[in-house]
Structure 1
Amino acid sequence: MSKSVKTALLANAIIAGAKGLAAFFTGSASMMAEAIHSSADCGNQVLVLVGQKQAARGKSEAHSFGQGKANFFWSFVVAVVLFSLGGLFSIYEGIHKIMHPEEIKNPLLIVGIILLAVVLEGGALKVALQESGTKLKDIFKTIEKSSSSHILVVLIEDAGALLGLFILSIGLILSVFVDPIFDGIAAFIIGILLLSLSTILFIELKKLIIGESLDRDTIKRIKNLIKEESTVLVHINSVRSMFIGSEEVLLIISMNIKDDKLGYEIEQDIKELKNKIQTMLKEHKLHVYIDVFEF
């Protein structure tokens, strides 16, 4: 099971409880929106763990390539939960408080919860960044290119949580020193943020569920390797690929070979090509199939 998911689950469980108590004692709509946000995140991490457990079952008669896509399915459910429970409820709560603003009680309690949440969410995000091998400045690039659905979920949720806390802080300051209506406005904006994050998840997971391929540069690297290393190659007909799990790829290569090569030479060449491709793409678990045709 992913360390980043477990860390995020523990952090969000603590934060959700703290935010819920703070919302009860202060009457803050934006804090309630954040409590719902963290509660939804807890449920999401549980769903991701369910997906990882199912994906780890391996091959069976009914699933020849394993059940790696279970990660994609359960992460897609996460996007639905984030959209409905998180985003829509926060927008509702925000509109309600905008129409009926109330003065926030015990604002210092909210400040304390915000500081606690920043520390815990920041720690969870740091673990996710370390697990994905990326830097904070490259987080959006990682979200766009990663095929690890649990990394997508954790990075998006943790980054979104920190943005939500920033919005909550601004809303608290304005509602205390300017007008209580800003508490409702902050809750509404947090709802919009959650809808935006869930939409990003929808887009990225849809590509994986329907069968996203390796990127163009990677396919070009594979072709170049074959051209440089193969001793039997005449022509590469096609290189097709599809993600069938988190960092798990089905790779099918079709190529024409010289008709004067002996069987053992062809077999040895294919074996070496598979090993070299796997070494080059060591970040992926590959299922490589090479079809050869005499030319």
Structure 2
Amino acid sequence: MSGQAKDRKTRVTVLVALGANLFIAAAKAVAGLVAGSPALLSEAAHSVADSMNEVFLLAALRRSRRPADQRHPFGYGKERYFWSLLAAVGIFVMGGCFSFVQGIDALHSHHRESTVGYVAGLAVLGVSLAAEGGSLLRALHQVRGQRGGIGSDPALRTVVAEDSTAVLGVLLALAGMVLHMVTGREVWEATASLSIGLLLVYVAYRLGKDARDQLIGEAVDPELRDSIRALLDHQPEIDRVADLLTMRLGLDSTLVAARIDLRPGLDSEDVELVCERIKASVAHTWPTADQVFLDITDAPPNTRR
């Protein structure tokens, strides 16, 4: 499947998640205000944060596919990681911090919801669970059909993380409201809000760490790097691979830079043909390795095969 086709599927997945989050954010906010439930309000903030993050991811999908230009000769593939980092910050600030505030405030409150408030809150959480679960199932379905799995696309990885966290958050809010209703103690909802905050902070940290590593410049997986080195080692014109550097430039773009020692006796025309053939072989075997650079030297006598 081409990169554009995969992006279209991911865009639909993000739009489904955005629609679900906008709907349930409004429902949670209204029910939370009516019921005075800190757990529901924490979940509303969580859904608002997720909605903002989906907007970031849509921007990432559109901007990361721009062609290379003079200022950005390697293209804009790393835009995905930048917008994914903003999404992680959004989860932390809008979701995690608000949940902590709601939880701490609930610990000093002695408000008891009415029966109508409980019923409305539990009904909204039930609808939210169905909506979030449906969005999660679609994202997981796309992951199963995507070569490279969940780690290959930061936008898809973020949607799966958000939806998984949302499902867990709804279950925590349900547990907090039910225990509050049974015991009459608001500490249960406060605990649920604080737990949701901790969950969001952890998810934000993991997503932010992954995006940071990619923005700094992360090498390809060790298995792929070893495969590239093995291909170079098996070329008859290469005596030794002195060094091999790799870096992911985007979802479908990888830089490969190798310093290789050629066997002696090759003239300049032969060297040029050999380099072109080796580059073509690497690109054919790994289509995402679209930036291949070879630094050619003559093998010292003591290292020749």
Same fold (TM over 0.5): yes
Partner of 1:120 in structure 2? Answer: 131
Give the drift of 1:235. Answer: 0.5
Structure 2 residue 87 is the aligned partner of structure 1 residue 67: no
Distance 1:11 1:222 in 2: 43
Structure 2 residue 204 is the aligned partner of structure 1 residue 198: yes
- The amino acid that maps onto 1:158 is D
Distance 1:184 1:120 in 2: 24
Runs of 4+ in structure 1 displaced over 6 angstroms? none
Give the drift of 1:114. Answer: 2.2
Give per-residue Cα distances to partners, 1:58-98, cap 9 Å, x unaligned: 21111111122222112111111111111111100111111
Structure 2 residue 190 is the aligned partner of structure 1 residue 184: yes
Partner of 1:138 in structure 2? Answer: none
Give the drift of 1:210. Answer: 0.7
- Correspondence for 1:246 among 246, 251, 254: 251
- The amino acid that maps onto 2:156 is I
SS in 1 for 2:261: strand
Say if 1:171 and 1:185, in contact at 8 Å, map to a contact too: yes
Give the drift of 1:267. Answer: 4.3
SS in 2 for 1:292: strand
Distance 1:196 1:154 in 2: 15
Partner of 2:52 in structure 1? Answer: 43
Return closer, same or farther for 1:100/1:129 CA change in 2, 3 Å cut-off. Answer: same
Give per-residue Cα distances to partners, 1:133-170, cap 9 Å, x unaligned: 379xxxxx966xx2522123212211111111121121
Say if 1:147 and 1:247, in contact at 8 Å, map to a contact too: no
Bigger drift between 262-271 and 22-31 goes to 262-271
Distance 2:145 2:210 in 1: 18
TM (normalized to structure 1)?
A: 0.88
- The amino acid that maps onto 1:167 is L
- The amino acid that maps onto 1:12 is N
Return closer, same or farther for 1:110/1:285 CA change in 2, 3 Å cut-off. Answer: farther
Identity level (%): 26
Partner of 2:298 in structure 1? Answer: 294
Say if 1:69 and 1:244, in contact at 8 Å, map to a contact too: yes
Partner of 2:43 in structure 1? Answer: 34
Give per-residue Cα distances to partners, 1:167-219, cap 9 Å, x unaligned: 11211221111223211221111111111111112211111111111122211
Give the drift of 1:272. Answer: 4.2
Map 1:92-131 to 2 at 5 A.
Answer: 92-105=101-114, 106=116, 107-131=118-142
Distance 2:35 2:208 in 1: 34
Say if 1:148 and 1:247, in contact at 8 Å, map to a contact too: no
Map 1:14-29 to 2 at 5 A.
Answer: 14-29=23-38
- Correspondence for 2:233 among 209, 227, 241: 227
Say if 2:256 and 2:289, in contact at 8 Å, map to a contact too: no
Distance 2:277 2:253 in 1: 20
SS in 2 for 1:104: coil
Say if 1:214 and 1:243, in contact at 8 Å, map to a contact too: yes
Residue ranges of structure 1 left out of the alignment (5+ in a row): 136-140
Partner of 1:161 in structure 2? Answer: 166
Distance 2:296 2:99 in 1: 57
Give the drift of 1:264. Answer: 5.6
Of structures 1 and 2, the larger Rg is shown by: 2
TM (normalized to structure 2)?
A: 0.85
- The amino acid that maps onto 2:197 is G
- The amino acid that maps onto 2:178 is I
Bigger drift between 20-29 and 99-108 goes to 99-108
Say if 2:218 and 2:247, in contact at 8 Å, map to a contact too: yes
